[in-house]
C-alpha cells in the first residue's frame, strides 16, 4: 500500500514522536490487512495525533486500528489479525500495555519477556 502520495496537509506536530503517515501505513497493512480506506486511516491518525497525548508511531497505529475496528460488528478477520500483531508488537516493546488491554487480548502477564 502506498499512502505517501496523500501526505500533503499531514504534518507532524511539534513535540510528537509519532509519524502520522507511517502509523496509518502500519495500521492499514499490518493491523487491518488492507481492508480499510487509506485516506480514512490517514484522517483518523491525524485526528488522534492532534489530541493532547504523545504517541509513538506504533501506539498511534494501534489506536487507529482500534478506532476503526470498534465500529465493525461483529468482529471480523481484521480484528484477529490486529490482536495477534499487537501482541507481537507488545512483546517487542513497540506499544504500550494499555493499548493491548484496549484490544481486549491482554495476556495474564503483561511483563515483557526477559532477554535471553
pTM strictly above 0.75: no
Q: Which of 90, 35, 31 has the alpha carbon at shortest distance from 66?
A: 31
User: What is the C-alpha separation between 59 and 95, in angstroms, rounded?
Assistant: 5
pLDDT digit string (tens) for 14-73?
555 789 999 999 999 999 998 889 899 999 999 998 875 677 899 999 999 999 888 776
- Grid cell locating 23: 502509523
Task: Write the secondary structure of the chain as one string of H (helix), E (strand) and C (coil).
Answer: CCCHHHCCCCCCCCCCCCCHHHHHHHHHHHHCCCCCCHHHHHHHHHHHHHCCCCCCHHHHHHHHHHHHHCCCCCCCHHHHHHHHHHHHHHHCCCCCHHHHHHCCCCCCCCCCCCCC
pLDDT digit string (tens) for 69-106?
887 766 667 788 888 899 899 899 898 888 888 877 54
Is residue 62 within 8 Å of 95, Cβ to Cβ?
Answer: yes
User: What is the C-alpha separation between 96 and 39, in angstroms, rounded?
Assistant: 25
Is residue 94 within 8 Å of 58, Cβ to Cβ?
Answer: yes
Amino acid at each position: 500500500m502506498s499512502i505517501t502520495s496523500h501526505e500533503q496537509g499531514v504534518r507532524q506536530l511539534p513535540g510528537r514522536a509519532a509519524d502520522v503517515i507511517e502509523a496509518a501505513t502500519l495500521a492499514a497493512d499490518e493491523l487491518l490487512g488492507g481492508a480499510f480506506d487509506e485516506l480514512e486511516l490517514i484522517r483518523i491518525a491525524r485526528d488522534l495525533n492532534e489530541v493532547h497525548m504523545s504517541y509513538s508511531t506504533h501506539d498511534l497505529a494501534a489506536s487507529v486500528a482500534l478506532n476503526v475496528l470498534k465500529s465493525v460488528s461483529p468482529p471480523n478477520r481484521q480484528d484477529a489479525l490486529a490482536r495477534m500483531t499487537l501482541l507481537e508488537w507488545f512483546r517487542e516493546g513497540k506499544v504500550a500495555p494499555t493499548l493491548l488491554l484496549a484490544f481486549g487480548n491482554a495476556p495474564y502477564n503483561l511483563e515483557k519477556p526477559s532477554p535471553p
